[in-house]
Structure 1
């Protein structure tokens, strides 16, 4: 980024030198007023540049009435707003996000079909809390139970699905914890599929955001169930409890929750102008307050931030030399798309990427192996750091190639 004060002073100096070299009449040479006037005129021309203010930082985030909350960008993973994000709290029906994740995994693997019928046990039928109004000993398709769990937040549907997949809800909870560990939910533990209170059933706002991102990323088609506003079963029309689906057209999920211990909770996802944001609100005091809190956070994020893709995963960023290999060069890049989230309307010149690759790379080389790192900075502040990997494998060269490169390396 140019230093505007430096540009201004340098330009003035050049202009004065030009004046001195320009032939003037004796009368002009005897008067300094011409030079002064020229300098003042030039100063006025550059004054807007010299006085240009640096980009303003985003204003403070909105005041949110909740025990904990978080606003995260889906693509970059940047946390834009947070409070008590790692505090252990009961998740209530946000639990059903993981129940959905496990069921979606079974569907994707082909172990389950949407039309497959599930026997409703007495335990499922008797489960307290929100209900899908299932009848004991009836058979209900998986797709209907999924709608009952996601749209209506039915505990009966959640237990029925858990029992069908794992034989028992407690065994299903083990599967939930396996997925939680794999996804990096380090402060979460599940003991049931519904979110009914238990001292050993807990999570954090950050973990719920990570889980929300995983749902969207890993099951983009099945995730669309979270945008359904209503559905009908047993002649009973049931409505989604996520009020933002009606109030904000950018919102397309994800899940509400409430118990006395957890308060009112909401994970909301929204997409607008190429950005996707997730807000997590924990322990609000009413449906209205959790809805307004989530809406305020999302508006703030879309208004004052923007996300850019700097590099495409698997695309060549640079080509570097290789020693003792069948090829003399290696293409390197990043494994996944690399995004950054920055304050809106920041100049691109303020963003800088520095790539550092190992000075000496010798074959054999395995595709995907790390050979350096790339650092992305905003005004010299480190935003993120990612490994740089080999985008191809390079086998060892022949005996003569290795011998020749050994001699070259000796003098390198």
Structure 2
């Protein structure tokens, strides 16, 4: 039966490296009660403050609405040119009569999905959100089920959505909830899987029904190179989700629980700027470096070297004290024959808030099957002593 092998840093002689390059900076601070900062390219968690505490997302729900529609486009449940009819419910609840954020969709008109997405993300339009929901699933409630199913699929395990707009529920009904960690994960999925639609978040303006409106994301233009995603307000305070790319490095930041939009902007600046003020990219291993050895069953050799499948570049704090560990994890022993270059495990950088970076590990060489005697000895060893 396969065992999961876990090797700590000391097992492969990285202690000296860790003491000189692994550090935890106490200097990044924010007034936000809830905050999260990550590097989506390599999964590094740079900063976490009550990142798993639930809060009401408000209009940030529309980022999830957009992602759900992006996925429907990817799976061809709907097409960009598909026309969606504007119901009286969508018009009255989210359109001009509602006096809220709207793209001023005309009642009983038909609008293409691509235009509704622009209205949703540029105008923050409630009518666009409802129209899209009804177009895909017939009702807001049915679309919310689609949202929750997709949230579960992409790992948003602490989130729950009740409608596509972020409107508060009827009295006595549970409200939508999410976490900073979940929102950062959502942004990462959008950047990774739906990059062809990501530009909508930073589209500066959109005209519909002869009404010109500029992008309503209050964070755009306020933080250098911020190009998405959104902001919201609920009874839990003001929240923001941002993605920023500078000089080829992208970070995702989340803040929540702020008392005003001004404090939200200040907190977002604190977190985003911290990525450049207190962290730098450090190469722990280069591609092809041997990091550990994996046990092999039934082979001519009992072990095979594991090497980094790519450079292990991690954003690490500039100063402070040691607070990270290295672990190699694989399912083993590996059964011979073993091919060179097979991805069989991963290197994990573990901080006080959990895994902050993962890198795939590949076999450095091939291991041919052993002869009958060698296989028998391996079998006897497993029977008597197990694999350790």
Give the TM-score normalised by structure 2: 0.75
In the aligned structure 2, how far is the partner of 1:328 from the partner of 1:360?
9
> What's the CA shift string for 1:166-209, capped at 9, x where partnerless?
12211111111111111221221111011101223211222111
Deviation of the 1:80 alpha carbon: 3.0
Residue range with higher mean Cα deviation, 337-346 or 318-327? 318-327
Q: Report the equivalent of 1:265.
A: 239
* C-alpha contact (below 8 Å) 2:42/2:358 kept by paired residues: no
Comparing both chains, which one has the higher relative contact order based on Cα–Cα distances under 8 Å and sequence gaps of 6 or more? 2
8 Å contact kept, 1:151–1:230: yes
The alignment partner of 2:243 has SS state of: strand
Q: Which of 118, 133, 153 is the aligned partner of 2:124?
A: 153
> Structure 2 vs 1, CA of residues 395 and 99 (structure 1 numbering), >3 Å: closer, same or farther?
farther
Change (3 A) 1:146 1:315: farther
Counterpart for residue 363 of structure 1: 336
Q: What pairs with 1:134-173 in structure 2 (closer than 5 Å)?
A: 134-173=105-144
Shift, 1:276, TM fit: 1.4
Contact 2:314 2:357 in 1 (8 A): no
Q: What's the CA shift for 1:280? A: 1.2
Matched, 1:80 2:68: no
Alignment pair present for 1:122 and 2:88:
yes
Distance 1:278 1:230 in 2: 23
Which piece of structure 1 moves more, 365-374 or 162-171? Answer: 365-374
Alpha carbons of structure 1 residues 102 and 314: separation in structure 2 relative to 1, 3 Å: farther
CA distance in 2, matches of 1:304, 1:81: 11
Structure 1 vs Structure 2 CA RMSD: 4.3
Distance 1:311 1:186, change over 3 A: farther
Contact 2:43 2:357 in 1 (8 A): no
The question of whether the paired residues in 1 share the 8 Å contact of 2:292 and 2:328 is answered with no
The CA deviation string for residues 43-91 of structure 1, in whole angstroms up to 9 with x for no partner, is xxxxxxxxxx999964533442x44222222234343333332222111
Counterpart in 1 of 2:147?
176
Structure 1 pair 55–391 and aligned structure 2 pair: CA distance change class (3 A): closer
Alignment map for 1:201-280 (pairs within 5 Å): 201-259=176-234, 261-280=235-254
Unaligned ranges ≥5, structure 1? 1-52
For the 8 Å contact 1:75–1:339, the answer to whether it is kept is no
Q: Tell me, what secondary structure is at the counterpart of 1:221?
A: helix
**Largest Rg, 1 or 2:** 1
Greater strand percent: which structure?
2
Equivalent residue in structure 2 for 1:406, among 356, 375, 378:
375
Matched position secondary structure for 1:95? helix
CA contact (8 A) 1:90 1:197 kept: no
Deviation larger for 350-359 or 231-240: 350-359
Q: Where is the helix percentage greater, Structure 1 or Structure 2?
A: 1
Between the two proteins, the alignment pairs up a number of residues equal to 353
Instruction: State the distance in 2 between where 1:390 and 1:63 align.
Output: 39
- 1:245-291 per-position Cα deviation (integer Å, ceiling 9, x unaligned): 223331110011124x2432211110113321112122323322222
Q: Secondary structure at the match of 2:156?
A: coil
Distance 1:339 1:174, change over 3 A: farther
Residues 1:169 and 1:355: Cα distance change in structure 2 (over 3 Å): closer
Unaligned 5+ residue runs, structure 2? 1-19, 382-388
Q: Cα 1:340–1:172, aligned 2, differ >3 Å: closer, same or farther?
A: same
402-411 or 93-102, which moves further after superposition? 402-411
The TM-score, its normalising length taken from structure 1, stands at: 0.71
CA deviation profile, 1:117-169 (whole Å, cap 9, x unmatched): 21111111112432111111001111111011111111100010111111221
> Does the residue aligned with 1:246 lie in a helix, a strand or coil?
coil
Q: 1:187 aligns with which of 146, 158, 164?
A: 158
Aligned residue runs from structure 1 range 87-106, under 5 A: 87-106=53-72
CA distance in 1: counterparts of 2:175 and 2:143, whole angstroms: 15
